[in-house]
Amino acid sequence: MKKVTYIKSGPSEGSLFVGIVDEGTREKLFISRTEYARCGAPEKGDILDEETYYRMARYDLYHKAKKKALSILSYADNNKKNLIRKLRVAGYPQDLSELICREMISLGYIDERDQLCRLVLAEANEKLQGPNKILAKLTAKGYSSSDIREVMQNYVDEGEINFRNNAYRLIEKKLDAGATADEKKTLLYKNGYKYD
């Protein structure tokens, strides 16, 4: 039997902590006042039915998952796939992880297009990677291959990326002046360029 042991104001206006005991196991659930009212506003000493307890526990889990997502996003850019994966690794269910991810996107905390633009430019112009390597690397991180190709093509069309010049810069940076054609070909291939 899950019994309410206390109801206290939460850290923000409109939030509560609800204490619950079940056969000696104690829980402290975070819930909004609105959701608490939807759950029938149980009072101290009330016994919770399974549906009410599940609803309150689900809200608490949602709150914790959202907090975790914000923490993850505060450290580095993450795309949809990575955020969902990291939430799953942290122990949150798939459906809740996807819901939180959609919310982060709607709030503007995940902007994959902006991330792709920055990543493609850095890979091409700073790391001197070729299109094939960029495509493979960013696809592995969970970005759409069609989006990656589109961003690369836009930068090429705008003159922001010149893969031919970058290939020459890579050869100058990594090989000495007497490098053979085979050494150049191998270097370019490893870095995602077609050799011509």
- pLDDT tens across 42-98, in order? 999 999 999 999 999 999 999 999 999 999 999 888 889 999 999 999 999 999 999
pLDDT of residue 52: 94
Return all residues near 142 (Cβ < 8 A) that are at least 6 apart.
Answer: 79, 80, 81, 82, 85
Q: Using 50 as the pLDDT threshold, list the residues of the chain that sit under it.
A: none
pLDDT of residue 196: 58
Please answer whether residues 67 and 57 qualify as being in contact, where contact means their C-beta atoms are separated by less than 8 angstroms.
no
By C-alpha distance, which of 41, 39, 49, 37 is closest to 3? 49
**What is the distance between the alpha carbons of residues 118 and 99, in angstroms, rounded to a whole number?**
26
pTM for the whole structure: 0.70
pLDDT of residue 195: 66
pLDDT of residue 95: 95
Average pLDDT, the chain: 93
Single-letter amino acid code for the residue at 135: L
By C-alpha distance, which of 29, 21, 17 is closest to 2? 21
pLDDT of residue 33: 94
pLDDT of residue 78: 87
Half-sphere exposure of residue 175, counting CA atoms within 13 Å on the CB side? 17
**What is the distance between the alpha carbons of residues 175 and 183, in angstroms, rounded to a whole number?**
8
Distances (CA, A) of 14 to 17, 28, 96, 148, 167: 11, 17, 22, 43, 58
